[in-house]
């Protein structure tokens, strides 16, 4: 019985072992045949295990200004790693891993902005957890090339670097809201705002990749089966922005920001003939190289809507002139206007008015009553609504920048139609105002604004796409545009007009002032107080054929008791306009001789000695400047034979030119000096010269850099006309139906 049971057990064991053997054999045959384990391809798994892949960096496209200056590009930065796995080192005598963690941490801490303990903890933790290598977070990222080289010089085993790109803006806060910024998102740089966002499809890069088979130490096999996917760099974007004009704007805005501490500043400069945006800026601003603390990402020139104030009157008057219902000599009673017997009247910013004045004078004084009468009694409210459409208000301009707002024409009730005529209630964006104003500057043609000039290949520079000037429409005729420029010119030049503070030294400026009230969220009406306004100006110059169109608004500046809101705005306008027109080589307007003053022919004194030349010219001209104390006369200016006025400045140039004392000179004379001696001239401020960087008597040579500061005569004093006229143009209540308006700066 026992023998029989033993025999049965042996048989069962034999069967079981046979089955196991057959299963294992079958499994081996299956694996050998299919190369798969539970759906995993062993050949593929082994291939991946011995294959190394790494990306080949590509470069995001550059951004240039219109003259080829680089405004944004990729700059290499470095990420640091520490290999902590001893298995990586083939030769113990020449380790490729971090052998002495404590010493390595001490060496790194002496260069990086961290402690040795923090670095030591990261490396030891990685080693204990069986990691191959560790990184050091923000401490080991975005390292400059100099820092990377300093660390490499210490020859620390196991410390390696990988290169990655970071977007860099060489001019810092320069046009930051327009350019926007791009940041690294998972190893890829992507545009977040501004041009960087808008032109992402052109600027973005595509990284390449290299794959090859390796051994356990990372070395290529003899037959590495290497594959390469080439990188594709982004395309280059060229803007219409002119770096020089943008710099003029940035500098002026910075100075006003520091001096007046306003809530905000918004400004833009355009070429009205083409629609090209030449400069654009905002305050507060930010540095796109350091985006940790940004107050406002949005570009207020295109994204911020507000009540425009009296700058809107440009289009009220233009509509009336175009419609043929305007008579500039017609008289009306200023002060208040009761447009509806059931409603309270609306007042001028000077509530008592100026008595009976004509409509031309009403524009110069910025009369709300004149604007309402034109719409209600001359044009008709519905006809005026049609012109608002024609000027493109309430619609986006289509500028090639992100987040453009459209504004809103508030035009349901008669009170809203009246207040819209002088810029209250209805909202606009600065770029809408500038676009509409191109029709006045450009003889009736309204041009579409744009900042993208062209896109070129980063490989060979070939043109990929190009923007051309585009006319939106012609809301007014050439004759109407010229009449408007004449009216706007008188705003700057006429006695007691609102824009006298904006007069330029060398060019005729046409423009319109604006002082718009600010909504009060607490009361539902408007804010009170002499500083709680948005002060603005729209200008174009030269008046006869404008080359530049400029808009500036300053919100809630901190003013001295003797200052009006025009002070900070006019500083920006005058500084940027004057310097930009000279930079563009626009010929200054010629001074007109008084009727009783005749011109004089410039004599030729180049063949005479210096003393004789000075004597002859001093007998005729009031201002004779000698460039050099001795030597021979080599040149004179103006050129011999030219007809000039006795009070014009003339120059005698010697063969040993030295710097003259330019105190009291005009900008025109400074630029004449620069042209005569081939100097690089930059001016700051307005008025007359009072400070120069090159001391009088210093030797001069071509391409020397001359900086001259200007100051207004009696600049600390404020004029009565600007106190009374510019002070408060639109001070009515929220409904536009209030009776009492107060002077902003009573004197």
Segment 706-724, tens digit of pLDDT: 888 877 654 433 333 333 3
Q: What average pLDDT does range 163-167 have in this prediction?
A: 79
- Ranked by mean pLDDT, the top range of 85-89, 110-114, 228-232, 281-285 is 281-285
Give per-residue pLDDT as tens, 36-86: 555 555 455 555 555 555 566 778 899 999 999 999 998 888 888 888 887
For residue 507, what are the CA distances in angstroms to 494, 501, 503, 588, 599? 15, 14, 8, 6, 21
Q: What is the mean pLDDT of residues 544-557?
A: 97
Residues 512 and 648 in one domain: no
Bridge-based pairing of strands 159-168 and 40-41 is: unpaired
74 DSSP assignment: E
Residues 450 and 397 in one domain: yes
Residue 746: inside a domain: no
Burial state string for 473-495 with b = 16 or more CB within 10 A and e = fewer than 16: eebbeeebbebbbebbbbbbbbe
Is 207 among the domain residues? no
More confident residue, 37 or 613: 613
pLDDT of residue 407 exceeding 80, the answer is: yes
Of 151, 175, 199, the last residue of a domain is 175
CB-CB contact of 420 with 410 (8 Å)? yes
Q: What pLDDT is stored for residue 591 in this prediction?
A: 45
CB 717 within 8 A of CB 699: no
Average pLDDT, the chain: 83
159: helix, coil or strand? strand
Domain with 150 in it: what CATH number? 3.90.1310.10
Q: Lowest-confidence range among 22-26, 52-56, 531-535, 688-692?
A: 52-56
For residues 25 and 84, membership in a common domain is answered with: no
Q: Tell me, what's the pLDDT at 376?
A: 96
3 state SS of 210 = strand
The answer on 64 and 47 residing in a single domain is: no
Whether residue 615 sits in one domain with residue 522: no
What are 171-193's pLDDT values in tens digits? 999 999 999 999 877 767 888 99
Lowest pLDDT segment from 11-20, 32-41, 476-485, 562-571: 32-41
| Total of domains in the chain | 4
743 confidence band (pLDDT: 50, 70, 90): very low
Q: Are the beta carbons of 564 and 718 closer than 8 angstroms?
A: yes
Helix (H, G, I), strand (E, B) or coil at 713: coil
Looking at the structure, do residues 74 and 36 belong to the same domain, yes or no? no
| pLDDT value at residue 533 | 93
Q: What's 453's domain CATH number?
A: 3.40.710.10
Beta strands in 84-195 (DSSP E): 133-135, 159-168, 182-185, 188-191
Q: Which of 584, 177, 665, 646 is nearest to 403 (CA)?
A: 177
**Phi-psi label, residue 217: left if phi above 0, alpha if psi -120 to 50, beta otherwise:** alpha
Query: Is 27 inside any structural domain?
Result: yes
Q: Please indicate whether residue 593 or residue 247 has the higher confidence score (pLDDT).
A: 247
Q: Is residue 230 part of a domain?
A: no
Q: Does one domain contain both 539 and 619?
A: no
Q: Give the separation between CA 177 and CA 418, rounded to whole angstroms.
A: 35
Give per-residue pLDDT as tens, 273-306: 999 999 999 999 999 988 776 777 889 999 999 9
Mean pLDDT over 106-131 rounds to 83
pLDDT at site 741: 33
What mean pLDDT is predicted for residues 545-560?
96
Given a cut of 50, is residue 342 above it in pLDDT? yes
Check pLDDT > 60 for residue 737: no
Higher pLDDT, 599 or 504: 504
348-356 mean pLDDT:
92
Q: Give 365 or 101, the one with higher predicted confidence.
A: 365
Burial 700-734 (b: 16+ CB within 10 A, else e): beeebebebebeeeeeeebeebbbbbbbbbbbbbb
Copy the structure tokens of residue 173.
């806060």
How confident is the model at residue 746, as a pLDDT? 25
Whether residues 47 and 61 share a domain: the answer is: no
Instruction: Tell me which H or E stretch contains 625.
Output: strand 623-627
What are φ and ψ of residue 52, in 5° steps? -105, 140
Residues 7 and 61 in one domain: no
Whether residues 317 and 171 share a domain: the answer is no
**pLDDT score, position 220:** 56
Asked if residue 217 has pLDDT above 60, the reply is no
**Interstrand relation of 463-466 and 452-456 (parallel, antiparallel or unpaired):** antiparallel
Q: What is the pLDDT of residue 161?
A: 84
Within a domain: residue 575?
no
| Beta-carbon count within 10 A of 204 CB | 19
Q: What pLDDT shows up at residue 561?
A: 86
228: in domain: no
> In the predicted model, what is the mean pLDDT of residues 428-444?
98
Average of per-residue pLDDT across 534-558: 97
More confident residue, 218 or 4: 4
The answer to which of 235-239, 257-261, 401-405, 686-690 has the lowest mean pLDDT is 686-690
Q: What is the pLDDT of residue 551?
A: 98
Residues 31 and 136 in one domain: no
Any domain includes 270: yes
Which of the two residues, 484 and 156, has the higher pLDDT score? 484
What is the spatial distance between Cα 229 and Cα 208, in angstroms, rounded to a whole number? 5
Least trusted range by pLDDT, from 264-278, 489-503, 714-728? 714-728
Residue with tokens 């453009």: 404
Q: Are residues 95 and 40 in the same domain?
A: no
CB 249 within 8 A of CB 478: no
Active-site positions read: 310
Sequence-ordered list of residues with C-beta below 8 angstroms from that of 224, at least 6 positions apart, any chain = 212, 213, 214
CB 581 within 8 A of CB 548: yes
Residues 305-332 have a mean pLDDT of 96
Q: Which residue has the higher pLDDT, 233 or 712?
A: 233
Q: Per-residue pLDDT for 374 more than 70?
A: yes
**pLDDT above 90 (res 622):** no
Res. 568: pLDDT tops 70: yes
Q: Which residue has the higher pLDDT, 412 or 649?
A: 412
Banded pLDDT at 684 (limits 50, 70, 90): confident
729 lies in some domain = no
pLDDT at 18: 75
Tell me what the mean pLDDT of segment 341-361 comes to.
Answer: 92
Expressed as residue numbers, the domain containing 102 is 57-175
H/E run at residue 616: helix 610-618
CATH number, domain containing residue 659:
3.30.10.20
Residue 267 DSSP one-character state = E
User: Is 591 or 628 the better-scoring residue by pLDDT?
Assistant: 628
């Amino acid at each position: 019985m026992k023998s029989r049971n033993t025999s049965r057990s042996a048989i069962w064991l034999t069967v079981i072992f046979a089955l196991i053997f057959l299963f294992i054999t079958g499994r081996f045959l299956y694996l050998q045949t299919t190369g798969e384990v539970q759906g995993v391809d062993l050949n593929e798994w082994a291939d991946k295990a011995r294959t190394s892949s790494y990306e080949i960096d590509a470069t995001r496209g550059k951004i240039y200004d219109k003259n080829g200056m680089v405004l944004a590009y990729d700059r290499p930065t470095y990420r640091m790693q520490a290999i902590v796995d001893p298995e990586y080192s083939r030769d113990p005598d020449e380790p490729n891993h971090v052998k002495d963690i404590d010493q390595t941490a001490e060496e790194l801490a002496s260069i990086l902005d961290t402690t040795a303990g923090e670095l030591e903890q990261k490396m030891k933790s990685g080693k204990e957890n069986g990691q191959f290598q560790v990184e050091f977070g923000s401490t080991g990222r975005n390292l400059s090339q100099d820092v990377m080289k300093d660390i490499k010089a210490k020859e620390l085993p196991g410390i390696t670097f990988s290169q990655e790109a970071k977007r860099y803006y060489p001019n810092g806060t320069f046009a930051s809201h327009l350019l926007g910024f791009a940041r690294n998102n998972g190893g890829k740089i992507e545009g977040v705002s501004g041009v960087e966002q808008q032109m992402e499809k052109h600027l973005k890069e595509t990284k390449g990749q290299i794959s090859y088979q390796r051994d356990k130490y990372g070395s290529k096999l003899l037959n590495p089966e290497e594959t390469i996917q080439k990188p594709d760099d982004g395309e280059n974007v060229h803007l219409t922005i002119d770096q020089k004009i943008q710099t003029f704007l940035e500098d002026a805005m910075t100075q006003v920001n520091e001096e007046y501490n306003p809530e905000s500043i918004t400004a833009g400069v355009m070429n009205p003939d083409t629609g090209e945006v030449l400069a654009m800026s905002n305050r507060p601003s930010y540095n796109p190289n350091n985006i940790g603390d940004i107050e406002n990402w949005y570009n207020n020139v295109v994204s911020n809507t507000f009540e425009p104030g009296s700058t809107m009157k440009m289009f009220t008057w233009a509509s009336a002139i175009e419609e043929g219902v305007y008579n500039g000599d017609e008289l009306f009673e200023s002060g208040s206007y009761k447009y509806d017997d059931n409603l309270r009247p609306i007042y001028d910013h000077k509530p008592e008015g100026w008595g009976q004045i004509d409509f031309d004078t009403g524009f110069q004084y910025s009369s709300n009553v004149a604007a309402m009468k034109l719409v209600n009694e001359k044009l008709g409210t519905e006809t005026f609504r049609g012109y608002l459409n024609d000027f493109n208000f309430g619609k986006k301009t289509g500028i090639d920048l992100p987040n453009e707002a459209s504004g809103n024409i508030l035009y349901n009730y008669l009170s809203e139609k009246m207040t819209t005529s002088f810029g209250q209630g209805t909202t606009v964006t600065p770029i809408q105002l500038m676009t509409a104003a191109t029709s006045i500057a450009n003889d009736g043609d309204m041009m579409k604004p744009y900042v993208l000039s062209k896109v070129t290949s980063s490989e060979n520079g070939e043109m990929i796409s190009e923007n051309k000037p585009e006319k939106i429409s012609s809301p007014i005729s050439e004759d109407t545009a010229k009449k408007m420029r004449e009216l706007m010119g008188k705003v700057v030049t006429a006695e007691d007009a609102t824009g006298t503070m904006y007069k330029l030294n060398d060019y005729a400026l046409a423009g319109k002032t604006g002082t718009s009230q600010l909504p009060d969220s607490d009361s539902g009406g408007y804010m009170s107080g002499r500083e709680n306004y948005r002060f603005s100006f729209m200008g174009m110059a030269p008046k006869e054929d404008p080359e530049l169109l400029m808009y500036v608004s300053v919100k809630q500046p901190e003013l001295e008791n003797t200052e009006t809101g025009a002070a900070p705005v006019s500083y920006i306008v005058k500084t940027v306009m004057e310097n930009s027109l000279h930079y563009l080589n626009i010929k200054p307007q010629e001074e007109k001789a008084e009727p009783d003053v005749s011109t004089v022919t410039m004599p030729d004194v180049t063949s005479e000695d210096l003393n004789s030349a000075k004597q002859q010219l001093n007998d005729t001209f009031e201002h004779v400047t000698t460039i050099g104390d001795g030597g021979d006369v080599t040149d004179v200016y103006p050129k011999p034979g030219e007809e000039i006025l006795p009070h014009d400045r003339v120059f005698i140039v010697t063969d040993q030119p030295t710097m003259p004392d330019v105190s009291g000179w005009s900008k025109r004379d400074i630029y004449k000096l620069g042209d005569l001696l081939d100097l690089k001239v930059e001016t700051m401020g307005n008025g007359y010269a009072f400070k120069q960087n090159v001391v009088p008597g210093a030797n001069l040579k071509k391409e020397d850099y001359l900086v001259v500061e200007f100051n207004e005569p009696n600049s600390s004093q404020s004029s009565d006309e600007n106190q009374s006229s510019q002070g408060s143009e639109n001070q009515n209540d929220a409904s536009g139906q209030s009776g009492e308006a107060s002077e902003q700066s009573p004197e």
